[in-house]
Structure 1
Amino acid sequence: MKTKVLLFFLFVSFQSLFSQEIQGSWAGSLSIQGTQLPLVFNIQKNGDLYQTSLDSPMQGAKGIPIKETTFANNELQLAAPNLNLKFSGHFNGTSIEGIFVQNGGSIPLVLTRKLNDTPVLKRPQEPKPPFDYPIEEVVFVNPKDKNTLAGTLTLPKNKKDFPVVILITGSGVQNRDSEIFGHKPFAVIANDFAQKGIGVLRLDDRGVGGSSKGTPEDTSASFATDITAAVDFLSAKGFKKIGLIGHSEGGLIAPMVVVQNTKVQFVISLAGPGITIDQMMLLQSQSIAKSQGATSAQIEASTAFNKKVYAYIINYNGSNLKADFQPYIKEEFIKLTQKQGLTETQIDEFVAQQTRSITSPWYVYFLKFNPELYWSKLKIPVLALNGSLDLQVKATENLAGIQAYLTKAGNKKATIKELPGLNHLFQEAKTGSTAEYSTIEQTIAPVVLDTMSNWILGLK
């Protein structure tokens, strides 16, 4: 969920670079939904060949490789087929003016030579050393998938018999701080909890930091085995009051782990799904489209298209999903965009990109997932939180679903709260739009930190 938004911002615009001597770094800002997203293109020359990488400082992304770079007659061409990206730009002597194209959409960008360091983002809650509590770097192996997991264990000072929580990231590959848009929410939580008497284990996802790479076949079920291994790791160290805190997809993984591992004593869901994923995704796309100014007719048409796509994936029982899905989505996409005058190339690019994404094992598993299967089995204490301005996992519907499933389980230890004025990242927001995430200096609202810690420390 979260990562889909990241990919949209990071890869829905690009642009140009170069001069008679184009080596070096070129910076510019994309205007997306009223928000400026800085990008830096780093150009190097190796013999007669150019190599380019992309940085997105606001998102904490560096060194993203651009596969193809050509520069001739002051014209720059960039392409990253794996990301379905293309860029064409013209060097005019002082800047590079160009257009970034992805999936038929284009955004202009003007780049100038980067002379100074990118301004440091203001993130006042980010913890800074020295720290007055114990911090341990840990490494252990998931015995099921044999992958190595690395993380940081923070513990309260001079305390015994305290609760310890494992933090679970949302969709996409993230480091142990759950770093996004320059924010490090898991580092903020760990620092806050350690000072209040709660231990925290936060982990690098597969393929990030010190954790070993995953496989193309990984799904949420695979990631659940990582968290189960983390629970067993803490238990082997002698901890007994072990809980889970999952954000977004992490809020889906947490109840899966509880069903598998009886050592977990409590769960906190931060914007976790409480309805079927296809329903959640439809509500998400409608809310985000509305926030971006889409008309009712546009939202209705895209909703109908998405419903068909989701239903095809969920109900498919053939032997080659990718091969069968591609002509289907192309036919439906042509119907949806027949008045937009898209070229055959633009249509094929969209179809290829969507086919790769939607038929991936992770996406198929995610789309078919039904949270009821797990929430309805939980009898341990549960705290479920959502922000009222969350456009990605709508608070009303998802909290109601979690409440209903826990009631079905006979769970009398559940607390369900909708927190006013907070977005999907639990920042104090104005609209909840995804465009606000990077511009808000606050990483996580204090009310969320206090609500979680007070609830944990109040458990009997």
Structure 2
Amino acid sequence: MKAFLFCLLVGLWALFPALGRAQTSSPSPLTGTWEGQIALPNNLKLTVILHITGDNAQQLAAKMDVPQQAAYGIAASHVALQGTNVEVDFDVIHAHFTGTLSSDRKQIVGHWQQAGATLPLTLNKTDKPLSAAPKRPQEPAPPYPYEVRDVSIPNPNAPGVTLSGTLTLPKGPGPFPAALLIAGSGPNDRDENVFGHKIFLVLADYLTRHQIAVLRYDKRGVGKSTGDFATATLQDFASDAVAVAQFLMHQPDINPKQVGLIGHSEGGIVAPIVASQMPQIAYVVLLAGPGMKGADLLALQEERIAEAQGLPAEQIHKMLEINKQLYQIVIEENDPQKARTLMQEAIQKAQPKTKQEDMDRIISFLNTPWMHSFLAYDPTEALRKVHCPVLAVGGSKDLQVPAKENLPLIKQALQQGGNRHVTTKVFPGLNHLFQPCQTGSPLEYAEIETTFDSKALAYITQWIQGQIETN
């Protein structure tokens, strides 16, 4: 699921006297690498690194790294130095930095502005080399001890949508049992690349090395898949997953009676929809899958992450109250333009000082076909129609889909539908990505080297093998 706090990037030419002679350039005092930390509540700090290039004879440019978010090379839209006043804009993330250059030209003291917040940020000049990509020790590299095939799968129920994916097959004679991986929310590719972690690449590699074939795919409109991601709903993603599951069952190397689904986060909503429509699905694994309505889940997610950040209870309460109003507008109003107007009126009434650009950002995030379908959806509707064995797992420190609240709802819905083959498990100390963590905050995701806890990988694989043996 999307972490709300991440809803989380014109240059200035030097002026020359028109003297009719060649001008010699001199280095700009801004040229170089600058590093600082944005102080967040609960003693959290976000490191920001600016790489500024150019001189007094050419346009200044900058790129920013935020290692904790695995964000590298975010291009600035505007860099300016006027006297000692420094300005750097990042339009793509709606952020703005202003500061004052010190007399020794080694420090810029200023403020970072984003999402309506203004936070102090002091940048110090440093000789550190460019940031290196974080270590990902679990990420496999070729040559692989299994076969890798690129596949293309048209969705017959969605003209113009063809899903592109990767099928990995164990070595040896088939047919093999198989798992279809269904990614979480957002424009995820087949590897489910989140904060620099290729979650599905690691999961597919592990399963395939344990004699389970795996198919993973780019969501519609992402990577090599065609279609329009921006207009897609939960139901559209379920339609795509049905097409991919049917394709997988018809592959000559696959045992059609041993094909299961593994859905992560939003994929944990989509997988039960698919299984409810395809009774031949052999098993379902829900990784941090939701068991409550979308609007309730998003409110809980926001509350838990805000608490982890150390925000005051009164501030959290006000945020949840206005968000509840906005969610209800999105659910009830099918006309996007009317919904936009109603949301703007609600925000202005609750927070009269909110800037227009911040209102636009909030409304644009909420006023989408996907959000409309998600907020109104109750996952238990499909869960009650799933009759194959189901494993639902979560991390005890998951702040995005808290396991304590969601796993019991999943189990209850499955059992209400008559399913007696339900297993739930909470992994201690793991977050939403199934990483060992300290707080569970999304700010930790990129910094943690582990992509998927090895004990969780082993448990899930062994459970799947148990279902295969019974088929």
TM bin, normalised by shorter chain, reads: 0.7 to 0.9
Deviation at residue 328 of structure 1 after TM alignment: 1.8
Deviation at residue 264 of structure 1 after TM alignment: 2.9
Looking at structure 1, the residues matched to 61 and 396 of structure 2 have their Cα atoms a distance apart, in angstroms, of 45
* CA deviation map 1:345-395 (0-9, x unaligned): x43332221111111222122111111221111111211111122111111
- Partner SS for 2:282: strand
Partner of residue 193, structure 1: 207
Instruction: Report the CA distance shift for 1:40/1:212 in structure 2 as closer, same or farther (over 3 A).
Output: farther
Looking at structure 2, the residues matched to 158 and 4 of structure 1 have their Cα atoms a distance apart, in angstroms, of 45
Deviation at residue 331 of structure 1 after TM alignment: 0.8
Larger Rg: 2
The share of aligned pairs that are identical, in percent, is 35
Partner of residue 339, structure 1: none
Partner of residue 145, structure 2: 132
Looking at structure 1, the residues matched to 122 and 218 of structure 2 have their Cα atoms a distance apart, in angstroms, of 33
Deviation at residue 163 of structure 1 after TM alignment: 1.7
Instruction: Report the CA distance shift for 1:314/1:348 in structure 2 as closer, same or farther (over 3 A).
Output: same
- The amino acid that maps onto 1:330 is Q
Deviation at residue 232 of structure 1 after TM alignment: 2.6
Partner of residue 408, structure 1: 416
Partner of residue 106, structure 1: 118
Looking at structure 2, the residues matched to 212 and 6 of structure 1 have their Cα atoms a distance apart, in angstroms, of 27
* CA deviation map 1:238-267 (0-9, x unaligned): 321222111111111111222344453221
Deviation at residue 441 of structure 1 after TM alignment: 2.4
Instruction: Report the CA distance shift for 1:138/1:410 in structure 2 as closer, same or farther (over 3 A).
Output: same
Is the Cα–Cα contact under 8 Å of residues 57 and 182 in structure 1 kept in the other structure?
Answer: no
The answer on 1:122 being equivalent to 2:139 is no
Is the Cα–Cα contact under 8 Å of residues 262 and 284 in structure 2 kept in the other structure?
Answer: yes
Instruction: Report the CA distance shift for 1:431/1:48 in structure 2 as closer, same or farther (over 3 A).
Output: closer
Is the Cα–Cα contact under 8 Å of residues 269 and 385 in structure 1 kept in the other structure?
Answer: yes
Partner of residue 226, structure 1: 240
Partner of residue 315, structure 2: 298
Q: Which runs of 5+ in 2 are unaligned?
A: 10-26
TM-score w.r.t. length of structure 1 = 0.86
Instruction: Report the CA distance shift for 1:22/1:378 in structure 2 as closer, same or farther (over 3 A).
Output: same
- Partner SS for 1:444: coil
Deviation at residue 80 of structure 1 after TM alignment: 4.2
Deviation at residue 438 of structure 1 after TM alignment: 2.7
Partner of residue 279, structure 1: 296
- The amino acid that maps onto 2:115 is N
Within-5 A mapping of 1:113-192: 116-143=129-156, 144-192=158-206
Q: 1:383 aligns with which of 387, 391, 416?
A: 391
- The amino acid that maps onto 2:89 is A
The answer on 1:259 being equivalent to 2:269 is no
Is the Cα–Cα contact under 8 Å of residues 75 and 91 in structure 1 kept in the other structure?
Answer: yes
* CA deviation map 1:158-206 (0-9, x unaligned): 1423221121221212332222233222121112111111111222334
- The amino acid that maps onto 1:189 is L
- Partner SS for 2:328: helix
Is the Cα–Cα contact under 8 Å of residues 199 and 451 in structure 2 kept in the other structure?
Answer: yes
Looking at structure 2, the residues matched to 91 and 376 of structure 1 have their Cα atoms a distance apart, in angstroms, of 62
The answer on 1:87 being equivalent to 2:97 is yes
Partner of residue 307, structure 1: 324
Is the Cα–Cα contact under 8 Å of residues 340 and 367 in structure 2 kept in the other structure?
Answer: yes
Looking at structure 2, the residues matched to 403 and 287 of structure 1 have their Cα atoms a distance apart, in angstroms, of 22
Is the Cα–Cα contact under 8 Å of residues 68 and 445 in structure 2 kept in the other structure?
Answer: no
Within-5 A mapping of 1:47-62: 52-62=62-72
Is the Cα–Cα contact under 8 Å of residues 187 and 229 in structure 2 kept in the other structure?
Answer: no
Looking at structure 1, the residues matched to 112 and 387 of structure 2 have their Cα atoms a distance apart, in angstroms, of 51
* CA deviation map 1:331-353 (0-9, x unaligned): 1233xxxxxxxxx4x43332221
- The amino acid that maps onto 2:113 is V
Looking at structure 1, the residues matched to 420 and 381 of structure 2 have their Cα atoms a distance apart, in angstroms, of 18
- Partner SS for 1:122: coil
Length, aligned pairs only: 442
The answer on 1:316 being equivalent to 2:328 is no
Is the Cα–Cα contact under 8 Å of residues 20 and 74 in structure 1 kept in the other structure?
Answer: no
Deviation at residue 416 of structure 1 after TM alignment: 1.6
Stretch of structure 1 that moved more, 183-192 or 431-440: 431-440
TM-score w.r.t. length of structure 2 = 0.84
- Partner SS for 2:170: coil
Is the Cα–Cα contact under 8 Å of residues 58 and 182 in structure 1 kept in the other structure?
Answer: no
Looking at structure 2, the residues matched to 189 and 382 of structure 1 have their Cα atoms a distance apart, in angstroms, of 18
Deviation at residue 45 of structure 1 after TM alignment: 6.3
